[in-house]
Structure 1
Amino acid sequence: MRVATVDGLVTLFYDGSKELFNSQLEREWENEFAEYGQIDFGNWESWDLSNDCKQYLRERSSWEQIIVVEGVTMIPIFTFYNCANIQRVILSNTVIRVQYYAFKCCKSLVYMKLSINLEQIDDCAFEGCNLASVFLPPRCRFVGGWAFGHNHNLNIVSVAQDTEIGSGAFFRVKFLGKFPFHHSLYEWPQYYEHYEEIHTWMKNINNHEDYALHRACSSYQPLKEVIMSIIENKGIRAFKTENSIGITPSEYLKENPYTEVTEQDIIHDYLMKMMGEVV
């Protein structure tokens, strides 16, 4: 593993050769946190911690970006747990599983690019992060309980119809405010009572014929040709038409880390074709 600065961020190139989580040092920190943390959290360097523990915490708090290199197939439990300064995570396409608590409480994490071959995300894997969008690959067949819970700004989720979603997987996220059947889903009893309805609703947000453009833009790897054909049929204004939860197709494109298609390019091509220009 190596550390370098990429795009202005301190970046760890994770190759799985070293176990990064140390349960003993974490326990030492948690014991001190119980005593000092509520009143003096930002001053942990002055706490009665061992030098090994302080060095461990300094290293984990220094990482701002994680790039998982080719060949890694799994992110083990707790690997990046509570690494509060990680902003971006990019998984290589060899990763097939993210285990329990792997990125839990990475509260600065706003951007995530998953593996196209990812098959499983375990319980609490990304709980308590700050993601705004989650585009799950078609191969992902299981999302564990609380996997994305408490990502309070999460407003866009794209998930395949046959993906199994555990209870609490999207508890207390922004787009649940648009769920049409209940108004108290920020409380656990109500969420748990309705979670099967919620997950069915999530999977079908863009299935209506009127939302063909949304479906194309929110797919895992949007194709410009498909998007263009829909716009040519429905007109360029379709790009500004909100779906049933108030999101426009262009917002899906903006949030999707897998698309190289831009709204500007599509509009340019569309206008050129309308004027009879060859694109």
Structure 2
Amino acid sequence: MRTKLVDGLLTLFYDGSKELYNQDLHFEFTVVWDQLKNTKLTAKEKFNHLSFECKEYINERLSWEQVIVEEGVTVIPHTTFGGCHGLKKVIFANTVTKIKDHAFYCCKQLVHVNLGLGLVCVEMNAFGCCNLSCVFVPPSCREIRSSAFASNKNLSILQVPQETELDNDCIDDTKLAEFALSETNTQTYPITWIKNINADDTYALHRACSSYEPLKEVIYGIIEEKGLKAFNEKNEIGITPSRYLKENPYADLSEMEIVRDYFSKKFNF
């Protein structure tokens, strides 16, 4: 595995050749931090109580800002990137079929994930306590298990196939769960409602630009209704639809192409 700067982010190219999670060193870090939590020591002073090996381990994990999972990797093991607080973005290869429990748990700055087209299962708490606002699940996915996306406070879009099995608490403590409870006036959010929230007009252009198969016709219709200024309307974490188009590796549409074709259609150029 190697690291290098990509788009200004320190990026780990994960090929699965090395076990990144060390249970013993993780346990040492947890115990020391718990023992010193009520002291007046600074974080740096607390860090000095760790062994050299533990310091190296934690420092490395905190340095990663982006992960690109390389082709050939099929499983992201348990807790592989758990607690990597600096991680902002993850791009999965299409060969990844399973993301195991707690694989990205408590990556508090993680705001963007591109799930691969071969994904079959997202296990318990895989992305719990992150900072995701939009998740687009590929058609291949069959299971999203308990708390998989729980405690992502800003999560408001979960685009998921109707065939995917969702555990009842997979989005607990998210904006989407709050919407579901208020809209349906129930104590627990119905899974069918969660799957159909994709029709929410508030996020129409973001959804169209971010989908795995963005259709010009859909985007044209939204532009017709909302006008071109809709491209510059930011969602709740500050991402515009035009930025989605640039970042989505499965979208071959450029903003200028859409605008040009839109005007051609509208004014019969």
| TM-score bracket for the superposition, by shorter chain length | 0.7 to 0.9
Aligned-pair CA distance for 1:35: 1.2
Cα distance in 1 for residues equivalent to 2:213 and 2:147: 26
Separation in 2, partners of 1:200, 1:47: 51
Task: State the distance in 2 between where 1:97 and 1:251 align.
Answer: 30
1:204 to 196, 209, 212: 196
What number of residue pairs does the alignment pair up? 254
Q: 1:253–1:259: 8 Å Cα contact kept in structure 2?
A: no
**Residue 215 (structure 2) pairs with residue 223 (structure 1):** yes
- Work out whether 1:11 is the aligned partner of 2:3: no
Residues 166-218 of structure 1 show CA distances to partners (whole Å, capped at 9, x for unaligned) of 121101111233221237xxxxxx4xxx24x1x2102123469xx99898556
C-alpha distance in structure 2 between counterparts of 1:181 and 1:90, whole Å: 34
Paired residue type of 2:267: M
Percent sequence identity is 42
1:186 is matched with which residue? none
State the AA in 2 paired with 1:259: A
Check whether the contact 1:222–1:259 (CA below 8 A) recurs between aligned residues.
yes
Aligned Cα root-mean-square deviation (Å): 3.0
Does the C-alpha gap of structure 1 residues 51 and 215 become closer, same or farther in structure 2, counting only changes over 3 Å? closer
Deviations 1:254-276 (A, max 9, x none): 65734344566434322222222
Q: Match of 2:76, as an amino acid?
A: I
Secondary structure of 1:59's partner?
helix
Task: Kindly provide the amino acid, as one letter, of the partner of residue 155 in structure 1.
Answer: S
When normalised by structure 1's length, the TM-score is: 0.80
**Which whole-Å CA distance do the structure 1 matches of 2:3 and 2:210 have between them?**
33
After the TM superposition, which segments of 4 or more aligned residues of structure 1 sit over 6 Å from their partners?
Answer: 211-215, 250-253
Distance in 2 between residues matched to 1:138 and 1:41, nearest whole Å: 47
Structure-2-length-normalised TM-score: 0.83
Pairing partner for 1:271 from 260, 263, 268 = 263
C-alpha spacing 1:239/1:112, structure 2 compared with 1 (3 Å): farther
For structure 2, list consecutive stretches of 5 or more residues without a partner in the other structure: none
Q: Which amino acid aligns with 1:172?
A: D
Aligned to 2:224: 236
Unaligned runs of 5+ in 1: 184-189
* SS state at 1:37 partner: coil
